[in-house]
Amino acid sequence: GAVVSQHPSWVICKSGTSVKIECRSLDFQATTMFWYRQFPKQSLMLMATSNEGSKATYEQGVEKDKFLINHASLTLSTLTVTSAHPEDSSFYICSAVRGRPYNEQFFGPGTRLTVL
């Protein structure tokens, strides 16, 4: 149990285009999902908290108009990188929170985004 899928696993796009990444909890419902970004040799850095039925909460320094998050159902959150630029190239990974008491996060396999 506790499987999270993420699609696509990798994407290459031209500068200025938008890219949508999907994160799905396959066998549990998740009212909260997280989106992280990881640059080479760095930690997973939290970008935003996605809450089902409400607006996402963004971490300091993350542009909400650039990284659009939609959490329309208890099993799906999407991250759209709008007008992507080469500096947005990174590894994006989502996680879904399943239950209490320790709020364990289960991760998707990640998406490698390369913007040309």
Binding of other proteins at residue 70 (CB under 8 A)? no
Contact 105, 97 (CB under 8 A): yes
CB count in 10 Å sphere of residue 5:
15
Q: Which stretch binds other proteins (CB under 8 A): 11-19, 63-71, 73-81, 105-113?
A: 105-113
The nearest distance, CB 4 to other proteins, in angstroms, is: 6
Q: How far is the CB of 73 from other proteins (least distance, A)?
A: 18
d(CA 59, CA 85): 20
> Rule CB under 8 A: which of 8-67 touch other proteins?
32, 34, 36, 41-46, 49
Interatomic CA distance for residues 113 and 36, integer angstroms:
13
Least separation in angstroms between residue 12's CB and other proteins is: 17
Residue 47 to residue 61: CA distance in whole angstroms? 9
Q: How far is the CB of 62 from other proteins (least distance, A)?
A: 14
Give contact residues for other proteins (rule: CB under 8 A).
2, 4, 32, 34, 36, 41-46, 49, 93, 97, 101-110
